[in-house]
A and B are shown apart, each in its own frame.
Chain A
Amino acid sequence: MPQQRIIAPNLALLYEKAAEVFGDMPAFATRKKRDQWEPTSYQTLWDRGCSLAAGLVSLGVQARDKVGLFADNRLEWILSDYAVQIAGAADVPRGSEVTVEELRYILEHAEIKFAFVENRSLLQRFDRATEKWETKPTIILLETPPPERSEVLTLAEVEKRGAKFRDKHPHILRERIDGINPEDLFTLIYTSGTTGTPKGVMLSHANMISQLEHIPLDITWRDRILSLLPIWHIFERVFEMITLSSGACTYYSSPRRLAEDLVAVEPSFMGSAPRLWESLHHRIRKGVRQSHPVRRALFATAYWLSKHYHRNINFLRDQDLLTERPRPAWRKFQKGYAALFWFLLLPWYGFFNATVLERIRQVAGGGLKATVSGGGALPREIDEFFNNLGIAVLEGYGLTETSPVLAVRTPQKRIIGTVGPIIPETQIRIVDLDTGKVLYPDEKDSAGGRMRKGEIIVRGPQIMEGYYRNPEATKAVLQEGWFRTGDLGMVTWNDCLQVVGRCKETIVLSNGENMEPGPIEMRLRQLPGIGQCMVVGQDQRYPGLLVSPDPEELAKTIPPTLAEEEQNARMLALVKKEISPENGFKAHETPRVLRILSEPFTVGDDMTKLYKLRRHAITEKYANLIARMFADREKR
């Protein structure tokens, strides 16, 4: 797919070129009121970025220094990033939810001497993290500082200072920009740590530029992109970089204002997490349930038609999930069948799509061409729901260590149930978990190694340089350019990647049976009352389940007046019904014990900001409860 993007050897040059080509076009827009937003043009961004960069240089920031950037999505974030890149340095970003301990670790580990800090509350944490230090990092506050802190600089001060400095040293920024090598870091991202202590992922300019070259998304300068996910995550960041290099405009929103902003901005593209689609799905379903019976019937008809229309058209275009070896003759026969159905459904679908489904699509703003979902697996049911509705949800796959995109569905290859084809210039292997043998690609196998399950390992221009100052950890995952993702996957017959679980998540029961908690949890999250849940049972005879309740919904199915034991039992009955062989689960995967937790999981402690369970943290926190849960059943 030809792309309409600016490409440059590094991000600073990319920013410069963007200002040249896109000039006064809006690059970012921030919200003042519901229908009142303020645009910032490419040129302004570049000019202010340059002043700020000169300010950093005047303060003593050296090329290749690490500069902290502790803030959430806002215009000043991207300004600071511009400044850091233009000064030839690298930023170390984290969002406002960072804890004192993490902050201390990062500041120390990355040897940060300069840091952008968003607001007073973060400043307090910053102070606590560095209270015993003799030399403290220089702080540039994005908001107005408290008057008593005269040593704290503000963005405006540094900018002013930089403007003067630039007059005296007109070539300083040019020198810095020209001095950037493609393999220099542009960022150092400390992962929030689903496992163990934070690790600093080193990503180079070349990593990011390769992503801009190869990610097959059709974003143009006419597009509006809503920014929702935390910008310090590489997934949102790569989206903003694609937006910048395409000349489109990023509109900063937040999960709280999402519904409103979707309508105001009518985004045509956005990066999203499964959670968003889960909640939109919930909202649409609820809206339909509460509507007039006539409308409900119309929706049901429209959805039914759409579902079957899509099933047939996907089959005709070979876009169905091919998990079995296709038999050409039989398939041709089936295609004749599918073509007939498709033709019969077409007029009805056309009408209902135009009248009923189009209105439902307005929930997502109505202008959405496509959206990429990443940062976790999208439940199959929800994936199908939106794609049947006519909202192209493209699921992608990647990790911070891979800048992040490894594979993504494209409009041409939008196979539901997969994360799409591997992006160009990237190689993939599936290796056996125990023996390390390469299962895919395998020339000797008649299937070429497809449909064999194993760990996904990858090689390509987007793979990180390594973990910062942590050669052991680097060596454990990165060998001869091949990066071990720790994810379990396989390649389908139409060469799309299917991610089926996390190797490290895999629960091994005492009888030696392995099970993946992911699919079970995903399914159970659809049950009313279950907000989140986690399967436990490593080394037990059967799995158990921790339920993080959605109290309001829970009260509707299980009266809160019941004894705790009775509530657990009732929930377990529901769970058992769901995780049954009829629904495609193995008998040993059915949880046999369950506890509804008194408090729901919280973001930060129990989950990452992308709602990924921090399994080790939860297991630790509820160690006693889990032990008791299994012991109680044994007694009976």
Chain B
Amino acid sequence: MEIERQLLSTVDQALLLLMILIIMFGMGASLTTREFGQAFARPRAFLIGFLSQFGLMPLLAFTLAILLQLPPALAIALILVGCLPGGSTSNMFAYFARGAVALSISMTAASTLLALVMMPILLDLYASGFAEQIQASLAAEDPETTFIIPTGNIIISLILVLVPVGLGMILRYFSPAWAKTAEDTAGFFGIIVILFLILSVSLRHGSLFFRTPVEIYMAAVGIGLTGFAFGYLMAKIFRLPYRHRRTISLETGIQNGPIAFAIILLSFSQPWQNEMLWLAILYSTFIVLTSSLVTLWYRRIGAYDYEVHRNEVIHQRLFGKEYHSPQPRGSWTDQLKGRSALRDKPADLLH
């Protein structure tokens, strides 16, 4: 796979950066400082989520890169995707997957902040080997050029995208109504960005879709899917409640794509930038599809558990905090539980 011209024109790049700013602003508009503190309200779930996001996901990316024998630049891109903090769309998916939205939001908030520290460490840990490979091949041709992971630039890019997040939070503080509008608009832009990128790439490099080797597709789709699967497994091993499992699963698989674009555009130079960008674009495209499908699936299998939980929450709200919601006695419950997963038709997301 050779990308002979620049993947995105300069104008497109500028537009993309603008959209990233809008998206990050919208993300900030969905947050208050309380959400950061909320993380400590459920330390266990939060810690497991953290492990899953910054422990599991980069490791998965690294393993996939090795298994699929990706070229070094793409391997670095995949690891970069794996090290990203959670995306704000995961909150919406968690909501429709009958997950714990508050947990999702606080995980997104905290991981975005923690990324400043974690990303450089993780990239150094997993990606430096691939960087040396590039360096080695470069040195063979021309000893003058060098390739290292631009840690400083990455931190600067991260800080840059965090500025609009902070501005969004300020908006939220002063006008929750407008913040809501900003949040929705940003959500919409999230989709537009992907369409825009796909369109602009296919206009400039129509055949790129066919020339991309299958391993790269596998990597782009696989990183999300394995994230979902292992995130769920991790939460299951630690015996978190079902809705926390669904939340952590989605939170692990769904990464903040726009941050990846920003970092790649601002920190990496050609010719690597093209390839890395292409992988990030593919990831962002497929993650929308896979997470929609996974959400529909979770919604289906989670119906029973969610209804029980929701009932308990409302009971406690109306009947007092001490109220403990009983369940039907004896065989009746077992019978229902046995049937529920198969029988309880979910109230369809797409009614």
Residues of chain A within 8 A of B187, CB atoms compared: 351, 355
Does A126 have its Cβ within 8 Å of any Cβ on chain B? Answer: no
Q: How many residues of A contact B (CB 8 A)?
A: 48
A222 touches B308 (CB 8 A): yes
Residues of chain A within 8 A of B347, CB atoms compared: 369-370, 392
A4 touches B314 (CB 8 A): no
Q: How many residues of B contact A (CB 8 A)?
A: 36
B318 touches A35 (CB 8 A): yes
Residues of chain A within 8 A of B308, CB atoms compared: 222
A294 touches B314 (CB 8 A): no
Nearest residue (CB) in A for B307 is A222
Q: Which of A218, A265, A298 contacts B314 (CB 8 A)?
A: A265
Would A351 and B336 be within 8 Å (CB), given that A24-B326, A221-B327 are in contact?
no
Does B323 have its Cβ within 8 Å of any Cβ on chain A? Answer: yes
Residues of chain A within 8 A of B191, CB atoms compared: 347, 351
Would A37 and B350 be within 8 Å (CB), given that A25-B327, A25-B328 are in contact?
no
B184 touches A266 (CB 8 A): no
Chain A positions 282-322 with a Cβ under 8 Å from a chain B Cβ: 292, 294-295, 298, 309-310
Does A411 have its Cβ within 8 Å of any Cβ on chain B? Answer: yes
B332 touches A21 (CB 8 A): yes
Most interface-central of B323, B326, B343, B344 (chain A CB within 10 A): B326
B319 touches A20 (CB 8 A): no
Does A51 have its Cβ within 8 Å of any Cβ on chain B? Answer: no
Q: Total number of A-B contacts with CB less than 8 angstroms?
A: 90
B307 touches A29 (CB 8 A): no
Tell me the smallest distance from the CB of A407 to a CB of chain B, in Å: 21
- C-beta contact mask, B316-351 vs A, less than 8 Å → 1, else 0? 011110010111111010001001000111010111
Tell me the smallest distance from the CB of B176 to a CB of chain A, in Å: 13
Nearest residue (CB) in A for B313 is A266
Would A39 and B336 be within 8 Å (CB), given that A221-B328, A266-B310, A350-B292 are in contact?
no
Tell me the smallest distance from the CB of B105 to a CB of chain A, in Å: 16
Nearest residue (CB) in A for B314 is A266
Tell me the smallest distance from the CB of B344 to a CB of chain A, in Å: 8
B181 touches A292 (CB 8 A): yes
B351 touches A392 (CB 8 A): yes
Residues of chain A within 8 A of B349, CB atoms compared: 353-354
A29 touches B329 (CB 8 A): no
Q: Which of A247, A346, A369 contacts B328 (CB 8 A)?
A: A247
Residues of chain B within 8 A of A220, CB atoms compared: 307, 336, 344
Tell me the smallest distance from the CB of A467 to a CB of chain B, in Å: 39
Does B92 have its Cβ within 8 Å of any Cβ on chain A? Answer: yes
Residues of chain A within 8 A of B181, CB atoms compared: 292, 294-295
Does A22 have its Cβ within 8 Å of any Cβ on chain B? Answer: yes
Leading 8 A-B pairs by shortest Cβ distance? A222-B307, A37-B318, A24-B326, A390-B351, A369-B347, A25-B326, A39-B319, A355-B184
Q: Could you pull out 23 A-B pairs where Cβ atoms are within 8 angstroms?
A: A2-B339, A22-B329, A23-B329, A24-B326, A26-B325, A29-B319, A37-B319, A220-B336, A221-B327, A222-B308, A222-B311, A223-B307, A224-B311, A247-B328, A265-B318, A310-B351, A346-B350, A353-B349, A354-B92, A355-B187, A355-B188, A356-B184, A411-B345
A26 touches B96 (CB 8 A): no
A22 touches B328 (CB 8 A): yes
B350 touches A349 (CB 8 A): yes
B292 touches A23 (CB 8 A): no
Q: How far is the CA of A410 from the CA of B82 in the complex (A)?
A: 45
Tell me the smallest distance from the CB of B187 to a CB of chain A, in Å: 6
Q: How far is the CA of A221 from the CA of B310 in the complex (A)?
A: 12
Does B205 have its Cβ within 8 Å of any Cβ on chain A? Answer: no
Does B315 have its Cβ within 8 Å of any Cβ on chain A? Answer: yes
Does A367 have its Cβ within 8 Å of any Cβ on chain B? Answer: yes
Q: How far is the CA of A367 from the CA of B320 in the complex (A)?
A: 20
Tell me the smallest distance from the CB of B133 to a CB of chain A, in Å: 39
